[in-house]
A and B are shown apart, each in its own frame.
Chain A
Amino acid sequence: EDQVTQSPEALRLQEGESSSLNCSYTVSGLRGLFWYRQDPGKGPEFLFTLYSAGEEKEKERLKATLTKKESFLHITAPKPEDSATYLCALPSGNTPLVFGKGTRLSVIA
């Protein structure tokens, strides 16, 4: 069964303190690994898609990377406005996206 596991569940950082979020996955035939950001009371907002091992994508202070077993979301010099829950997801069978439980990031000024 295809699975997506995210760690840590929660992460608290000081402003400017860089760190990484992990998404481990098992899937038969990867058809993309997707990262989303979700703010409280809102729907998930699409960030990145990665398709093959070694691929990297960047957006402002965020960089997503992919290996054959996991993906990392690196956050460089985070700001309080980066506080959110970050979700990773992948297609599985006929399910368009199966989501992990997310990492709840808090960045303290």
Chain B
Amino acid sequence: SAVISQKPSRDICQRGTSLTIQCQVDSQVTMMFWYRQQPGQSLTLIATANQGSEATYESGFVIDKFPISRPNLTFSTLTVSNMSPEDSSIYLCSARPLDNTGELFFGEGSRLTVL
């Protein structure tokens, strides 16, 4: 298994500002992903964080709004840009371990509230 640390764990942000969430994994993993969990909703994949190249975004998510970096195998960042109240959500970093059996491990999440 992998231990995934995210920060901040929560934040309250003003409309129009941007916030960067950091994700650190304690061991090498094959792939890293970012999910969003809106209140009362399921987890939705935002993008796959690719090491050393541009992230792969799901339909409905764009790089200008959610820029992602992954400079090495164990670290990634997600920025939520120009925030609006609709961006209030839990953002979850996840990773697939090297044995690649399919399951994902998740961080504790970053709960953002946009006023």
Contacts and interface: CB of A to CB of B under 8 A. Distances in A.
Please classify the interface of chain A as helix (H, G, I), strand (E, B), loop, or mixed, using the class held by over half of its residues: strand
Interface stretch (A64-72, A76-84, A97-105): A97-105
Contacts of B102: 31-32, 34, 49, 91, 96
Contact of B45 (A41, A42, A96): A96
Please classify the interface of chain B as helix (H, G, I), strand (E, B), loop, or mixed, using the class held by over half of its residues: strand
Interface in B19-47: 31, 33, 41-45
Nearest to B9: A41
B41 A44 contact: no
A5 to B, nearest CB: 10
Contacts of A98: 45
Interface of B: 1, 4, 31, 33, 41-45, 48, 56, 58, 92, 94, 96, 101-109, 111
15 contacts: A32-B103, A41-B111, A42-B108, A43-B108, A44-B43, A46-B104, A87-B42, A91-B102, A96-B33, A96-B48, A97-B104, A99-B42, A99-B43, A101-B41, A101-B42
